Structures are given as C-alpha cells and as structure tokens.
Chain A
Amino acid sequence: MNRHLLSAADLSRDDAVLVLDTAEELAHLADRPIKKLPTLRGRTVVNLFFEDSTRTRTSFEVAAKRLSADVINFSAKGSSVSKGESLKDTALTLEAMGADAVVVRHSASGAPHRLAHWIRGSVVNAGDGTHEHPTQALLDAFTMRQRLGRVEGLHVAVVGDVLHSRVARSNVLLLHTLGADVTLVAPPTLLPVGVETWPCNVSFDLDAVLPKSDVVMMLRVQRERMYGGFFPTTREYARRYGVDGRRMALLPDDAIVMHPGPMNRGVEIAAEVADSVRSTIVEQVANGVSVRMAVLYLLLGGALTDVNEGAV
C-alpha cells in the first residue's frame, strides 16, 4: 500500500483485503474492558477539517486514540484559515509541529493530493469535494462482508445523488477492485460527466434494479452543493429514487440497505426503511472506527518507508 490513502483506486485487491482483515481483528477491541492498544504511542495524527463533519472526524479521532496516537483537531473555523491562511501554509505549520499523519477533509476536490506533495507524513483523504472518500468505501465493504459474508460477486445498487457524491465514486472503485458488480441508479441530471467510463452499470429505473440487488446503498441528496434545478421537487425525487417500504419489499430476502449518513429521512430513505432490520446504518458507524484504526495502523505502524515511497 502507498504511504498515503488518497483514493480508493490506490488500493490493490490485496491491500483492500488486508485493511478489511485487520479491521476485523481490531473490531474485537470494542468488546474488551480496555479499548486501547499501544501501537501508535508517540505518533501524532492531525485531523484537518475544512468542512463540517461530525461522524468522520469523531471516528478518526476515536480510531487514533484507541491506537494511543496523539490527536490534534484542527477545523477551519476558529483557526488561522479563517484569517486567510492558505492550505500550503497550514500544511507547513502542521509539518513543523511533527504530524506523522494528516487526515484531511476539504471542499475542493484534489486538496489531499496537493497536501501529499507538501508534507512528509502520511495523508489520509477524509473526503475531498465531490471526488473521493476512501475510508467510507472501506467501511461499507467491511459492513457488506460482515453482513453477507463476502464482497466478491455481490450486486450493489448505489442510488441517488451520484453527481455530488464522493462516497459513490470511492465505492464504485473499491467494489470493482473487490469483484462486486455495481449499478448506479440516479436521475440523468445527477450523474457526472464521464460516468460511462466508470467500472459499473447505470440505470434510471430503481424498481427494475432492486429485485436483483444484494445491497442498496442510498446516497444523501446534497442540497448544499446544488446550485441549480436537478429535479423538479423533493417529493418527485423521493417517489422515483427514494426507498420506502414498498420498494424494500422488492429486495431479495437477505439484502441490506446502507446509507453513509447523515440521512434525509423522507427524501432518499423512508423512516420505516432506515429503522428496519435490513438497515446497516448504525453498524456502518461502528465499523468506521475499526476500519480507520486499520488504515492508521497500516500507514503508520511499520517502519518508515521513505525509500520505496509510492511503492506498493
């Protein structure tokens, strides 16, 4: 695996399986009286969040602390960034403080890539613009494996606002690497340009896709990124692309419904679905901690490998 985790495409199949296997062992930690390992003692992990986030930032913070790393939370609000400091200057400041890893979320796609060129430590992409969110894809794959026993060969429908979703892109790339069969379902206005080059199928008809799906992953309608009319009304969107009780009944018996959160109940997912036994939404949050521990351990736990930087 690379020194950084910037894109789900950075992970080979072996890398991805190693992360999932490692996460599986680390998941047992949650059942123990002392939920802490000494592995990253003396290492510093900086959470650099330029966008609002509760669950991802907290999840990375818990993961780093359970591995005994020192954690510094750095959010754009209330920092020098609000005084106009550039990303590069912020990065160099953190570098000077000795950050071994920087977990970064930024509204600009590609910001973590830039950051990776400026600092010596590892960079973990915790969501950049509408581009990627690789640890979310890893925890989703982990959840599928936990619930259904495998990822390879699963039929996964990713439904909704694909255009603005970094979760969708990372999931398509990772699930393809792991051998799952992905179908994107969205209104044509919410599909990105060039989607035909992605390693997946595209459909506009949710009812036709559901009966052959093992996993339905609902995406949040990201109003904060929408500056135009992507669909006529919220009600119409919910009727055509939301999952409700009727649609859930179309699924095979053991199929699961996933959502990366935060949910818009009543828009892309009905309350009766979100609270059903098929829903993995709460498990996804718990699994997020294990998967992020695995990523931090695998990036920071071993010898510093400056020599073969970038080598797999």
Chain B
Amino acid sequence: MTPAPTRPVTGDPSAARPVLEAPDVGRALTRIAHEIVERNHGADDVVLLGIPTRGVTLARRLAERIASVEGTAVPVGSVDVTMYRDDLRLRGIRPLEETEIPPDGVDGRVVVLVDDVLFSGRTVRAALDALSDLGRPRAVQLAVLVDRGHRELPIRADYVGKNIPTSMGETVHVLLDETDGRDGVLLGPADVSRPTGEVAR
C-alpha cells in the first residue's frame, strides 16, 4: 500500500537536452487546435479529456486556443486511468487522480483524449477502457504533444505536436508552466526531473 517508489536518479541532470523550447510547444498546440477544428468541421461536438496530470493542462490550453479561433467554448475534463492500467500488479500502489466529466457528458460527442507523451500506448488503451465505462462517444481521437515511438499496442495519435525518435533507454520529459514553472520538452538518458517515476509512458 506504499505509493510507487521514487525512481532512482541514474543520469546526469545536465545530460537532458531540450528538443522543444517554450515557443515550439506553443506553436505545436496552436497547430493541433486548428487541426482539431478542421478535422471535426468546427468544435461544436468536441469534448477534450486530458489524462492527468499534464494531459489535463494541455487539454485546457487547447480549449483556450480553440475558443480564440472558433469562439466556441469546448468542454474540458479529465479521465484518470489508474484503475484501468494493466501494470497495477507490477508496481506499488498508486494514488488516484481526478476524473471529471463535463456536465453534458460524452454520449454522442467527439472526445479528444489529450496526453503529453505517447510511448507504449498502454495508457491510451486504459483511457479507452475508462471512457467506455463513462459513456458512448460518437468518436474518440487522440492528441499528444510528443510521440516518441516504441508502441506495444495498435494505437496511433490523430494529432501530434512533435515526433521525437528515441531509444528505449532514453526518457522524455514534458515541462509545462503550470506544473513545472516553464514550457519545454527534454530528452535525457534517465529520469532526472520527475520524482514520480513517470518515465514509462
């Protein structure tokens, strides 16, 4: 019942190098916002659901951008996938994150799942299962800031901020102003900035 142990810091923090700077993150999100509107012929039916924690922050930012483009307020929520993960028994217990579904629900709407990094695809698989217990969307799409490859399931993203080729040993850290004090994406040899062991995304 102990929370997942802190992953030991094995790499040199200075070895993590930025692959996206703050303006790049902003431009990628603006482009994704436009793509969501274009693909769905407007944003009337769209609901953005972030996967905690950074996915929720990204979903809020996308909603702001869509609102400034279309003038439509897009509902934003969050979906915690912890209880649906397939690796619960491989690790210590994890505390739950918030699941918040917008008041109008997801039935018959286009749900865009939002996460920071797409890696094995297992988190997205869990999110799809969670979503099917929450309602029946008309369609589900996936938006990620970074796709780092190494998929273990047949899952792909509809909207990608940046494809970053990585090796399995490398780690990708998305930094966002709201949680980390600045925007950026770092590529490093091991986990250096996240204490919660979220490397295996």
Contacts and interface: CB of A to CB of B under 8 A. Distances in A.
Interface string A25-69: 110100011101111000000000000000000000000000100
Contacts of A302: 1, 88-89, 91-94
Contacts of A311: 2
B164 interface: no
Contacts of B83: 37-39, 67, 297, 301
A2 B2 CA distance: 9
Interface in B92-108: 92-99
Given A2-B1, A34-B133, A38-B83, A21 B95 contact: yes
B2 A305 contact: yes
Nearest to A304: B89
B80 A305 contact: no
B1 A299 contact: yes
A39 B84 CA distance: 6
Contacts of A1: 1-2
Nearest to A302: B93
Contacts of A298: 1, 93
Contacts of B22: none
B86 to A, nearest CB: 10
Contacts of B80: 25
A36 B129 CA distance: 12
Nearest to A298: B1
Contacts of A26: 96
Given A298-B93, A302-B1, A305-B2, A39 B134 contact: no
Contacts of B98: 25
Interface in A271-312: 297-299, 301-305, 308, 311-312
Contacts of A18: 1, 3, 95
A22 B96 contact: yes
B197 to A, nearest CB: 13
A15 interface: yes
Interface in B72-126: 80, 83-84, 88-99
Interface string B1-26: 11100000000000000000000000
Contact of B90 (A28, A32, A303): A303
A302 B91 CA distance: 6
A292 to B, nearest CB: 14
Contacts of A25: 80, 96-99
B151 to A, nearest CB: 22
Contacts of B95: 18, 21-22
A53 to B, nearest CB: 25
B195 interface: no
A166 to B, nearest CB: 22
A158 B96 CA distance: 32
B183 to A, nearest CB: 28
Contacts of A33: 133-135
Contacts of B92: 302-303, 305
B96 A37 contact: no
Contacts of B93: 297-298, 301-302
B96 A21 contact: yes
B167 to A, nearest CB: 27
Contacts of A21: 95-96
A297 B92 CA distance: 11
B41 to A, nearest CB: 29
Nearest to B93: A302
B179 to A, nearest CB: 19
Nearest to A35: B133
A33 B136 CA distance: 11
Contacts of B133: 32-34, 36-37
Q: Which of B83, B89, B91 has the most CB of A within 10 A?
A: B83
B2 A312 contact: yes
Given A2-B1, A22-B96, 10 more contacts: A18-B3, A21-B96, A28-B99, A67-B83, A298-B93, A301-B93, A303-B89, A303-B91, A304-B89, A312-B2
Interface of A: 1-3, 15, 18, 21-22, 25-26, 28, 32-34, 36-39, 67, 297-299, 301-305, 308, 311-312
25 contacts: A2-B1, A15-B1, A18-B3, A22-B95, A25-B96, A25-B97, A26-B96, A28-B99, A32-B134, A33-B134, A34-B133, A39-B88, A67-B83, A297-B83, A297-B93, A298-B1, A301-B83, A301-B88, A301-B93, A302-B89, A302-B93, A303-B89, A305-B2, A308-B2, A311-B2
- Nearest 5 interchain pairs by C-beta: A1-B1, A302-B93, A25-B96, A37-B83, A34-B133
